[in-house]
Amino acid sequence: MTASPLTLVGAFPHTRAAPALRRLGFTFSANGAYAACLATSGDGGWYPESWRLGGSEAAAQGGEQLVGGLIVGGLGGAGAGGPAGGMDVVAMPVPLPQAAGGVPESLRSQLVSLSDGRVLICRQAAADRHELVVRTPASVRESSAGTLRVPTLRLMAMPAPEPGGPVAVALGMDGRQVSAVWLVSADGATQPQQVAEFAGVSGGGVWLDRGGRLLALDHLLPARTEGFGTSGPMVKTVVLDLATGTVSPFLELAPHSNDRLIAADPGSGLILVRSDAPGEDRIGWGVLGGAEPLRFPDCLHRTREFLRPVAIEPAREPGTAPADLRVALQGDWGAGSSLALWQPSSGQLDPVPVPPGRLGGVGHWSAAGLRMPYSAPDHPAGVATIDVDRLREGPPESPDPVPTMPLRLAPLQGGAAGMGSVIRIHPAPGNAQGLHGSAPRGSRGGSSGWRLDGSAPPSDGGRWHGARTVELPGAAGPMEAVVYGGDAWLTAQHLVVALHGGPADAWRLEFDPALQRMAAEGLAVVAVNQRGSTGYGVEYAQALQNAWGGPDLEDVLALLESVSSQRSALGLEQPSLFGVSYGAFLALLAASSAPEQVARCAVVAPFLSGPRLLAEAGPAVRALTLRLGGAQPDGGADQGPDGPGARDVLRVCHRLTAPLLVVHGDQDAVVPVSQSRTLRQELLRMGRSEGADFRYVEAAGAGHEVLAEDGAPVLHELLAGFLRTGRPA
């Protein structure tokens, strides 16, 4: 049999004409005047952005600097210097264009926003080599900040860099599990200066002084034998003195506890820690150098939300006591996130009513307000400026009405969890328990205390499609899903069940260009977080340990059975499946296990089984596969080789009858393209016709993030069209 040639999607030229639709890796400069992130418009690869924030202490001084022949800074004016006025200062993203023939950024690029608007970038040029460069806004020029030869490297900004001094610390790790530390300058002439080297694995990083000398790090202690037993590895916080290169203990609450410093205010001495010394993982607080022991308030102990401090408010008056400072904490549970304020002296956690969506986990608090990255399904990522007092003290907003499920036309059958009610729609955040509050959806004006800058509107002048979270039945209990399609999504003409990658990942209540394109095509989308998804507690996330394609496949099959029976009763076509990476593997298993319940199946960068991936992937992916328990070869002793739990796509793909579209980047360094090529060859061997039964597309020059690289809009359109019609036009 002669195989038809592979279909190739060529690379597309870089462009900055389109606004950014995805942003990640936000960092804020030490003075709060600037931020930086990686951005992409979806059709031109990743590039750095430098955000002119204004309204900070530095901007209020009106200082301008000459950098690389450009005037930067001096962003004072209206609003600089006060919370109310700061809401009037718009944050401005400035793309840093790529020079012709220059090195493009990747998702592995690390950024540090400098206090003059420049951006320090760390690029991994090879497995053991990192290039450090400095970029200037509105210029294609870049200057070298040195080269470091180490397998693993991460950057931390200095807390208050002096003119001409180091701007960042680089922490590296080699194969000997030895940590090395360098000071990085941005003058274009000074190479990184190594200042320390110590044994062990380090992580985290919190500055204990404003001068940038004392850096607290998480230090991993290996397992050790004591008496007749062996203690597991532990994490303790140590302090690195950059002036002497010495490391000393800092936080050790109990002999076998994990103790981390997670935030500090060097001016007042307020510190926040995370420790399991109290018997379970909790957040506590204390004063650096103080005589009082650490305290672990009950209000910071949440059984659902994972709390993390994102910013400490600067003291409003000189001499403010540490216990009177306010801390902004982000709470994460499931697909969404929330914001709350905590003051040690108050003893309570006060919700801040921000719109539903996803906050970025980092922030900067100044006189201009609290600034954080934010995204929602109908708001591409931007920078939110939050006046927490105005939000909390303003008149209460009327929460969005909780929609009811209109479909009561046919009894719902199937699903091990039962289907007394197929859907429970999560209430709007204003009605939720925990940290959530209410806020006007899409509010952007400064008068409300919330403004979102830099969030791109659709190019056609319309509106992005919104989504909500709902609760659906799985095989062993409820699952959360992000749903596009309004109240009647279950009865939409075309319905897509979307499966995320990972497996240690989840769909979030944030903007997703691929799902937006499907919604624009008229597809209802159910992006489900089955067992194994992160954000729902340790037990839920670890359900797939040594069981890839087990509990999660059961959940997907239970959902397909329930939804397909309902749609069949109404004369609607069966749902389609869409999956990326691990989700593509899961989608292929599901489409092969329940072929009568799947109308179409589109997969991006799939692998065939954990063991097959283990045999072909690189060292980092092999290590991750082993750590997540993906090496088990079959679905368990109680199931035959072709049973629903079989975890090898090649063993069950003969059952797949739905039209299939496979997309893979030919430079994928995570899931080798050979996995999809093997699947294609097996389908041809079985007599399936390419172009009729299935379509195979290789994206030339694309990596694992093929849906966010050059030519991504073409692939988005291809996927949406196929999932709607089944014809891979």
pLDDT at 67: 34
Task: Tell me if the bond preceding 503 is cis, omega within 30° of 0.
Answer: yes
pLDDT at 207: 96
Q: What is the CA radius of gyration of the chain?
A: 26
pLDDT at 405: 34
For the chain, list residues with pLDDT below 50: 1-5, 9-16, 58-85, 396-423, 425-446, 635-645
∠ CA 446-452-453, nearest 5°, is 105
Q: Determine the Cα–Cα distance for residues 309 and 382; give it in Å rounded to an integer.
A: 20
pLDDT at 72: 33
Give Cα separations from 110 to 360, 368, 384 (angstroms): 16, 26, 22
- What's the pLDDT tens digit per position in 286-345? 999 888 899 999 999 987 889 999 999 998 888 889 999 999 999 999 999 999 999 999
Specify whether the CB–CB gap between 509 and 356 falls below 8 A.
yes
pLDDT at 125: 86
Residue 539 carries which DSSP code? H
- What's the pLDDT tens digit per position in 11-51? 333 444 578 899 999 999 999 999 999 998 877 678 999 99
pLDDT at 249: 93
Amino acid at 266: P
Closest listed residue to residue 234, CA positions, set 253, 215, 259: 259
Give Cα separations from 261 to 28, 160, 238, 295, 656 (angstroms): 20, 20, 9, 14, 51
Closest listed residue to residue 631, CA positions, set 653, 648, 654: 648
pLDDT at 227: 55
Compute the residue count for the chain: 729
**pTM as predicted:** 0.86
- What's the pLDDT tens digit per position in 174-184? 878 899 999 99
With the C-alpha atoms ordered 719, 723, 724, 727, is the resulting torsion angle positive or negative? positive
Sheet holding 246-251, edge to edge: 201-207, 214-221, 234-241, 246-251
Specify whether the CB–CB gap between 216 and 242 falls below 8 A.
no
Q: Determine the Cα–Cα distance for residues 377 and 515; give it in Å rounded to an integer.
A: 9
Specify whether the CB–CB gap between 108 and 38 falls below 8 A.
no
- Across 296-415, the runs of DSSP E, i.e. the strands, are 306-312, 327-333, 336-342, 349-352, 358-359, 364-366, 369-376, 379-386
